[in-house]
Amino acid sequence: MWPSRRRHRRQPNMGLMLLLLQLCQAGFDTIPPVTLGTIALNVGMYLGIIHEFFRKRVPRTMDICVGVVQVWQRQDYWRVIEATFTHADDWHLYYNMVSFLWKGRSLESKIGSRQFLYMLAVFSVLVNVVMLYLNYAAAMFFSDASYMNQCAVGFSGVVFAVKVVTTQMMPQGTSLIMGFIPVNSRLSCWFELVLIQVLVPNASFTGHLAGILVGLAYVKGPLKAVMNWPFNDFGRSFSARSGPSYTYHSASSGHHNRQSPVQDERRYDSYTGGLNEQQQMEHAMAQSTQNQPNNGQNRLYPDLSEETSPSAPTQDEVQPPAYGWNIPGHTHNTQNETPTNGQPPYPPASNQDELRRRRLDHYNHRASNRR
């Protein structure tokens, strides 16, 4: 975020040309849709294309920037949203969009476009709200009214929040600040916060700090659970209370029981272990590199045949349990003698399986005599 200042007529210049070059080098076909659309929205806001589409005058930066006086005292709440997509000049736009390009492409491919769009929508508002509270707290703590009059614009606060989420989801490693300073990847946002303030003193320190705090609240705090609650817990509990749905067909009697989408989602989650496509691929590659077989244990995907196809019934399941060999009115010899009813001689009964076989032969022989 940059403090607002008056701008001349916005025209394509060096910053936009370099941004277009970066997009071409990355490849438009390799940029996910939400990331590419967000960059297009920021460029359109800077060039005034969005304002012309809605037939509105391109406002000055002072009429859009977000600050305590402008938002709370003047009650101009629309600035909280519009200031996020407004930039002071083309270089401000270039640095923010290039940084967002690589972070957004990585994060969107991991969590999906719909979840990423939802995250950007929440972050775009929440970062500015947190910045207002930080400015107000700084003004009260330092007894300095200048924090109340600070007014900033830009997408960099959201970029910092996205960077925190991205580094926390990736394996811990080392990042190079300015290309030669090795820093822990999960701590790099704090080094960038200080470095940007040293190199660009006019940058909004509280705006960047607000982005880091929002990102930490998402990965370490309750923000992620709060954001996902309307789509997970409430939706599942509502579907569970509503019970199964039935569809009646006029062409045939009876009904057809359809499973709810929540039941299908639970079955899918249990099948994949709650992992997304990228995590499933990494898990499968890790399993394939193991040399020792695990005999099918701890597998990510169970065999469908084991779930849907019943195993072959054993002899104990096919044959009835042994209730004994005491049949009234019938005597037999267990020492290879011919029974009195003419049945073939039996071998000695040595185990339960032999007793079951004898009993079946006995009933089969009686059934054949009745015919």
Q: Beta strands of the chain (E only): which ranges?
A: 2-3, 152-153, 174-177, 181-184, 245-247, 256-258
| pLDDT of res. 327 | 47
Check 156, 185, 188, 204 and give the catalytic one.
Answer: 156
| pLDDT of res. 308 | 44
- Report the pLDDT averaged over residues 161-189: 84
CA–CA separation, 231 and 220 (whole Å)? 20
- Any idea which residue has 């930039």 for tokens? 87
Is 143 in the active site?
Answer: no
Residue 290 clears pLDDT 90, i.e. is over it: no
Residue type (1 letter), 212 = I
Residue 362 pLDDT grade (very low, low, confident, very high; cuts 50, 70, 90) = confident
Instruction: Tell me 176's DSSP state.
Output: E
Nearest-Å Rg of the Cα atoms of the chain is 36
Residue type (1 letter), 181 = I
Fold for the domain defined by 2-224: Rhomboid-like fold (1.20.1540)
Q: Please state the φ and ψ torsions of residue 229, each to the nearest 5 degrees.
A: -60, -45
CA–CA separation, 206 and 127 (whole Å)? 10
Domain-by-domain residue ranges, the chain? 2-224, 327-370
Per-range mean pLDDT, top range of 87-91, 125-129, 224-228, 271-275: 125-129
| pLDDT of res. 324 | 47
CA–CA separation, 164 and 185 (whole Å)? 9
| pLDDT of res. 21 | 94
- Report the pLDDT averaged over residues 190-209: 90
CA–CA separation, 213 and 164 (whole Å)? 9
CA–CA separation, 283 and 274 (whole Å)? 12
Both tokens of 293, joined, read: 């077989």
Q: For 54-58, 229-233, 243-247, which range has the lowest pLDDT when averaged over its residues?
A: 243-247
| pLDDT of res. 337 | 45
Residue 250 clears pLDDT 50, i.e. is over it: no
Q: Cβ neighbours of residue 71 under 8 Å, at least 6 residues apart?
A: 77, 79, 80, 132
Per the CB < 8 A criterion, the answer to whether 78 and 59 are in contact is no
Residue 171 pLDDT grade (very low, low, confident, very high; cuts 50, 70, 90) = confident
* pLDDT tens per residue, range 68-121: 999 988 889 999 999 999 998 899 999 999 999 989 999 999 999 999 999 999
* pLDDT tens per residue, range 328-360: 444 444 444 444 455 555 455 456 777 777 878
Residue 259 clears pLDDT 50, i.e. is over it: no
Dihedral angle over CA of 134, 138, 141, 143, nearest 10 = -140
Residue 158 pLDDT grade (very low, low, confident, very high; cuts 50, 70, 90) = very high
| pLDDT of res. 209 | 95
* pLDDT tens per residue, range 217-233: 999 989 988 888 876 65
Q: Please state the φ and ψ torsions of residue 64, each to the nearest 5 degrees.
A: -120, -30
Instruction: Tell me 230's DSSP state.
Output: T
CA–CA separation, 75 and 217 (whole Å)? 27
Strand partners, 3: 152
Is 368 in the active site?
Answer: no
- Report the pLDDT averaged over residues 226-254: 53
- Report the pLDDT averaged over residues 26-39: 94
| pLDDT of res. 230 | 74
pTM of the prediction?
Answer: 0.61
CA–CA separation, 50 and 41 (whole Å)? 8
| pLDDT of res. 4 | 52
Q: Which carries the bigger pLDDT value, residue 2 or residue 154?
A: 154
Per the CB < 8 A criterion, the answer to whether 158 and 129 are in contact is no
Residue 252 pLDDT grade (very low, low, confident, very high; cuts 50, 70, 90) = very low
Of all residues in the chain, the percent with pLDDT exceeding 90 is: 36
Per the CB < 8 A criterion, the answer to whether 35 and 105 are in contact is yes
Check 87, 92, 208, 362 and give the catalytic one.
Answer: 208
CA–CA separation, 16 and 21 (whole Å)? 9
CA–CA separation, 65 and 207 (whole Å)? 12
Of all residues in the chain, the percent with pLDDT exceeding 70 is: 63
| pLDDT of res. 357 | 79
* pLDDT tens per residue, range 297-331: 555 445 444 444 445 555 444 455 444 444 444 44
Residue 282 clears pLDDT 80, i.e. is over it: no
Instruction: Tell me 70's DSSP state.
Output: I
Residue 257 DSSP SS3: strand
Per the CB < 8 A criterion, the answer to whether 338 and 357 are in contact is no
